Amino acid sequence: MFRKFSIVLAAMCCLAKASNAQQPCSTDQQYWESVKKYPQILDYERQFEAQMAGITAHGIPGVAAKITLSPNDTTTFDVPIVVHVVHDYGVEYLADDVIYNAVKYWAQVYLAQNADTSMAIDPFKKYVGNARIRLHLATIDPNGKPTKGVVHDRSYLTTNADDQAKYSQWPQNKYINVWFINTFGAASTGAAAYAYYPSSAAFMPYYDGVIGLYNYVDYEKAIPHEIGHVLNLQHTWGNNNNPGVACGDDQVDDTPPTEGHNPGCSAAALYDVTCAGGYLKHYTSVLGADSLVDYPDTTNAQNIMDYTYCQKMFTIGQCVRMRTALTSATAGRNNLITPANLAATGALAPMPDLPPVADFSIERATGAGIITDARTVFLSLGSGGNFNFKNRSWNDTISDVVWTFSNGATTPTSTTNGTVFNKFSVPGWVTVSLIANSNAGSDTLTTTPVYVADTVAAGGFGYYQTFSNPAALANWPMFNYFSNQYKWGAYTGASRDGDNGCIRFRSFDTTQKRIATPLGDHDDLFTPSLNLSGLSGNVYLNFYTTAAAANSGGVSTPAGDSLEIDATNNGGLRWTKIAAFTRGQLVNNGIKSTEFVPTASTPWVARAVVIPATYFTSSTFFRFRYWAGSTGNNFYMDDFNIGGFPADVAEIAKSAESFKIFPNPTNNGCNLVLRSGSEGVVHYSIKDITGRVVYEANETYSPDMLIQQPIAREITPNSGIYFVTVTIDGNAHTEKLVVY
């Protein structure tokens, strides 16, 4: 386990920002977790170390790293890199210039050109190494297209990031990939960044690279530290995440043994001698003359692979180790530096001047300000709210923009380079077009990202939607916020009611990829405006569902799918959750390893949600929000209706063969729902568990009517099981009632 550094250490720290109260690096935590899961990584590691030992040549005088290239090794290695900004338009949306500047600095560090190398304390001045590695943002992407080496990927994974957030990886044997995200998920909570050693990367190439919090892009030497791991450097105290605990070594001679240090540039850390006293290395030369090297008896707390954040240097031995990694085939590191790869990635070419990539983000706002209800981009004509469209174009300095908006926008055209505010007078999907211009060209993005709902009600009490008529779905807008395969859609291949029409949320991973879990993705389906004014008592939002899971994953794990239903009585400005269903509640068809499609005999489950009275308004909308999980299979929904009975009770209306009790179990009375039969005479009998009759009555109704007969709690005063028998037209039916 890694530890967060304490308040005391943070206060002493000369460099760490208050907002950076993070453990610098979780590389070793990830490493040990991976080794636990995939012990084969250790095989790769042994092979790699053997290869490196094989590279041993003559030893560098005074350094004598046991793994060295030729002492005359003065080549500079060039390495292409790509930076991915994984964002959801939040603070993590790093501007390109911030990245260009950061990469320049990382490159300086790898050429020992960072000005603060001169601040290395005396014992280490002569061990300051120059890695002679030139980092270059690529100018050609994997498809052969020109690039500036920075890409922006919109993803929900930015706020729950782990290896999955690396779905946009460029080939790792051609580029060092670096991702920036907003927040790490549970596996790396509290870390600022992490990377994989070459041996792990050889086993899991699709996770190879550096991933870090956006605010560490240019913080101290956080990213050069991680690139050190990519090039096989360990922490100065060894490959664990516990600095300050036990003396350790990093397989590099000129970094003396150390316990390592937590963040903080204290004098105690800087001149720490723990573990390093009397540090000597003894070598037997193949030429016959033995040598003894006396390294500093002080720890190298200024080392970039320590956690102090007063990092100034790599040692010569570390540079040899990194350069050796770049000459090894393990994880294809040696391909990075080949002339062919440098040509293919355009690493040595100057950064091209490229046209911008047009992009914008959207928020909803009232006069009082931005509504932070995440991604909902739905408002009704009557809501009074704005849609705010913010220019997010990137890849070049934007000289000017041209916006156009459909649907009777208050600002149908604009050249505003910032945010444009709009209300719309025509309902439906709004077409937005943004042209972004720069000195190098222009780019146009045209899309229909927001929906303006008509306030004219599509129905009210008794509204019934079978989803069989595509035209009827026109006012049921569906949003796929991240434009991926996990989404709502009309489905004509199955139904509950035999009309071959229903709604599907496709949650099955049809690509069967290992990466890009949908966990964290959610998409919305909205009802049309419903007029519920003047209603009272119990009114139910009814629908039927059927669903399966793709794998076990535990029925209530966070990795499962879930459904949430929200309501608004102010046209979409504010939404309130009125019901939620977990994976365990949704899945009624077990686990299917293939994509789940209901057949005629597939069971469907009736769902009934009591609509709170606050939504008995003339324009109420409901929102179905589906959270896709990593264990999901498809979910289907059919026969949405608004009525006075729960869905399964309403079924009684279609048959006279039984009756329903609801709610059941109950602690406050219940209702019996039945059809009165051809004579209209109904006999009721309720017995307790001992068989004692606690209630008996005959009632006469009009024939063949749907009846709701209340049973007061007083009739069944004790908690326990009762048997309710209803006799209609001489036929007795018995159901169990649970009172608590």
Residues near Zn ion (CB under 5 A) are 25, 27
Residue whose CB is less far from Zn ion, 305 or 686 = 305
Report how far residue 252's alpha carbon sits from residue 248's, in angstroms, rounded to the nearest whole number.
Answer: 11
Residue whose CB is less far from Zn ion, 147 or 239 = 239
Reduced to 3 DSSP states, what percent helix, strand and coil does the chain have, rounded to the nearest 5? 20, 30, 50
Q: Which of 301, 340, 305 is nearest to 319 (CA)?
A: 305
Burial class (CB in 10 A: 0-12, 13-18, 19+), 395: buried
> Minimum CB separation from Zn ion for residue 225, in Å?
5
> Minimum CB separation from Zn ion for residue 305, in Å?
7
Residue whose CB is less far from Zn ion, 64 or 193 = 193
> Minimum CB separation from Zn ion for residue 184, in Å?
14
Residue whose CB is less far from Zn ion, 84 or 225 = 225
Residue whose CB is less far from Zn ion, 161 or 670 = 161
> Minimum CB separation from Zn ion for residue 102, in Å?
18
Distances (CA, A) of 290 to 56, 71, 264, 285, 416: 17, 18, 40, 5, 74
Give residue 425's identity as a one-letter amino acid code: S
Positive or negative, the CA dihedral 585, 589, 594, 599 is negative
Residue whose CB is less far from Zn ion, 27 or 215 = 27
Burial class (CB in 10 A: 0-12, 13-18, 19+), 393: buried
Full DSSP string of 231-274:
TTPPBTTBSSS-TTSS-B--S-TTS--B----S---HHHHT--T
> Minimum CB separation from Zn ion for residue 242, in Å?
12
> Minimum CB separation from Zn ion for residue 24, in Å?
6
For tokens 């076990």, the residue is 552
Are the C-beta atoms of residues 568 and 623 closer than 8 Å to each other? yes
Are the C-beta atoms of residues 464 and 544 closer than 8 Å to each other? no
Are the C-beta atoms of residues 379 and 391 closer than 8 Å to each other? no
Residue whose CB is less far from Zn ion, 77 or 307 = 307
Residue whose CB is less far from Zn ion, 25 or 539 = 25
Residue whose CB is less far from Zn ion, 23 or 633 = 23
Residue whose CB is less far from Zn ion, 27 or 242 = 27
Both tokens assigned to 52? 């490196």
> Minimum CB separation from Zn ion for residue 27, in Å?
4
Residue whose CB is less far from Zn ion, 25 or 737 = 25
Q: Nearest-CB residue to Zn ion? A: 25
Taking the CA atoms of residue 185, residue 186, residue 192 and residue 198 in that order, the dihedral angle to the nearest 10 degrees is -90
> Minimum CB separation from Zn ion for residue 453, in Å?
50
For tokens 């040598």, the residue is 291
> Minimum CB separation from Zn ion for residue 229, in Å?
6
> Omega of the bond prior to 612 within 30 degrees of 0, cis?
no
Residue whose CB is less far from Zn ion, 148 or 229 = 229
> Minimum CB separation from Zn ion for residue 233, in Å?
8
Residue whose CB is less far from Zn ion, 27 or 383 = 27
Report how far residue 670's alpha carbon sits from residue 708's, in angstroms, rounded to the nearest whole number.
Answer: 10
Residue whose CB is less far from Zn ion, 25 or 322 = 25
> Minimum CB separation from Zn ion for residue 591, in Å?
39
Instruction: Name the strands in the sheet holding 720-728, side by side, starting at the edge strand that comes first in the sequence.
Output: 693-700, 681-688, 720-728, 731-739
Cβ-based neighbours of 507, under 8 Å, separated by 6 or more:
486, 518, 550, 561, 626, 628, 629, 632, 633, 634, 635
> Minimum CB separation from Zn ion for residue 241, in Å?
8
Full DSSP string of 507-533:
-S-TT--SS---TT-EEEEEPPPEE-T
Residue whose CB is less far from Zn ion, 3 or 733 = 3
Report how far residue 207's alpha carbon sits from residue 196's, in angstroms, rounded to the nearest whole number.
Answer: 8
Report how far residue 304's alpha carbon sits from residue 312's, in angstroms, rounded to the nearest whole number.
Answer: 6
Both tokens assigned to 239? 């490959």
547 forms beta bridges with 635
Both tokens assigned to 420? 């444009």
> Using alpha carbons only, what angle is made at residue 287 by residues 232 and 316, rounded to the nearest 5 degrees?
30
**191 DSSP assignment:** B
Q: Tell me phi and psi for residue 706, to 5 degrees.
A: -80, 125
> Minimum CB separation from Zn ion for residue 118, in Å?
24
**331 Ramachandran zone, left/alpha/beta (phi>0; psi -120 to 50):** left
Q: Which of 457-489 are b and which e, b meaning 16 or more Cβ less than 10 Å from the residue's Cβ? A: bbbbbebebbbbeeeebebbbbbebbebebbbe
Residue whose CB is less far from Zn ion, 25 or 41 = 25
Count of other CB atoms within 10 angstroms of residue 428:
16
* 381 SS3 class: coil
Residue whose CB is less far from Zn ion, 198 or 518 = 198
